[in-house]
Amino acid sequence: SLPTLTTAARLSAGITVRTDDDGVARRYGYFFEVDGVAYPSLALAAAQLLRPDDAEALAQRAAGADHGRPGLPFARRGAFRTVRFSDVIEAPADSAPLRDALGGRAVLVGVSALGTEDYARTPLEGELPGIYVHASALAALLADRFVESERALGRWSGLVGVALLLAIAALGWRRESAGVVVGLAVGGVLTWLAFSAYAFRTGAWVNVLPVLLGVGLWLGVRLVFVYRRAADSRRQARAIRRAFQHYLAPAVVEALVQDPDRLRLGGERREITAFFSDVKGFTALAENMEPAELVEVLNEILGTMTEIILDCGGIIDKYIGDAIVAMFGAPLDQPDHAERACRAAARCQDALAEMRARFVAQGRPEVHVRIGLNSGPALVGNMGSERRFEYTMLGDTVNLAARLEGTNAQYGTRILCGEATAARVGAGVVLREVDRVQVKGRSRAVQVYEVVGERAEPVVVARLGRFAAALERYRAGAFAEARAAFEALSAEGDAPSAIFAERAAAYEQAPPPGDWAGVFVMTTK
């Protein structure tokens, strides 16, 4: 019976190893109670036998560690020296190796044979003899090294875990990359595990599961949002490409895909260059051609010009019959939008010259296109309704570009631009000042320039210099000198010079008023 055994034994102790619900031994009870009497565990009894002078202190230490049931810093198999019991029985009484192995030590006797019930699982091992649990408890008690939830890091672990979860949530709040979200979760888990490992080394027990579950839940929810947002972004990107691929350059379309906010309904004030083109005499052309042939010709003209405009970084605002309305400088910023527009206009005219030669060879009529350009502030954005809108431009800058397209007819030119455009163009485009014009609908005159091309032959450059000199004499009131110079240039095929020769001759007969500023007032669009 138990009383008989306890009376005969030097010290009684309990050997039961209690496990958690999952069958793993994480804590160790240094006391157990039988019939209202408290008995020490095997580890506590062995420690008191090994250090009899400290028996009371050891009991108090064990009782004070998580109320007598602390967690243990388990060691792996092999951390404790083991001796086969058969070797002890068979060894001579004066065996030196045995004396060295066991002398002055606490010796715990247990069963290690497979198939016995005295086996336990620890957080570091699978099944191992239960005596290892008692040995770990003995080592922890002697070293005063337990794993306790009540130690400093253990007490603060909850706050640390909450702070870590909040930090992960804050850092990943607006992240749209699944890789970044997963990286944050992995980083958070590794940080938490590192903290718990450090706490374990200091003797504090941290329950890692709640934070791991929290990170997993956050990761799952966040990935759902990320993938839904990615799916929405892909749908939006496809919609943008479908809507803009036919009148925006591919690079511009991709920029809009990356920043769809630029396409929200509404406008913004931007510096742009407006581009207007129109086929000269299109009405007469339409009357003399079959509809199918007319459509073919028009599509070739518009298609050729559109490709050039897009290649130069412009966008097509709209097609109005035979006219093209385009803009440079929006929706993407282009500091050189004026020069881009001038280059596009010049290249369009070069391509149209080749097209005219081909049309003539095919027996088709010659086709001429006039282009007007103007730079300045304009309201740019999506105009219309929520169900149907278009990206377009509004403002005085745009209106003047349209007027300048029509002004070409007055001077026999192909490309005219306003003074704001001319001021923004570098040496890569050849310009010549044509006149000071007050277009219909405006009260202020504007300097008008012809875009000659991206380059000019020396003879053309010389002719432009002669025109500038003649224009200066014309504005100074020396109409006879100006007329002679303009007539000479007109004889060389310069259309604007023919216009100025007629004006100079008229002013010779009827001089302008004294406050004349050399401004030509347009009475038609």
pLDDT digits (tens, 9 = 90+) for 176-185: 677 777 777 7
Between residues 297 and 80, which one has the greater pLDDT?
Answer: 297
Most confidently modeled range among 134-138, 239-243, 329-333, 448-452: 448-452
Phi, psi of 480 (to 5 degrees): -65, -45
Q: Which secondary-structure segment (H or E) carries 272? A: strand 266-279
How confident is the model at residue 334, as a pLDDT?
A: 92
What residues does 446 pair with on adjacent strands? 437
CATH T-level assignment (fold) for domain 266-427: Alpha-Beta Plaits (3.30.70)
Q: What are the boundaries of each domain within the chain?
A: 2-143, 152-235, 266-427, 456-525
Determine the 3-state secondary structure of 417 from DSSP. Answer: strand
Give helix 131-143 / helix 42-50 axis angle, nearest 10°. Answer: 50
pLDDT at 292 over 80: yes
How confident is the model at residue 229, as a pLDDT?
A: 77
Q: What is the pTM of this model?
A: 0.60
What is the mean pLDDT of the segment spanning 265-274? Answer: 86
Give the chain's length.
525
Give the Cα separation of 467 and 470 in Å (integer): 5
DSSP state of 513: P
Give the Cα separation of 335 and 30 in Å (integer): 81
Give the Cα separation of 269 and 168 in Å (integer): 40
Structure confidence at residue 117 as a pLDDT band (50, 70, 90): low
Most confidently modeled range among 73-82, 103-112, 123-132, 493-502: 493-502
What is the mean pLDDT of the segment spanning 157-170? Answer: 72
pLDDT at 445 over 80: yes
What is the mean pLDDT of the segment spanning 342-370? Answer: 92
Closest CA to 359 of 416, 307, 406, 304: 304
How confident is the model at residue 114, as a pLDDT?
A: 65
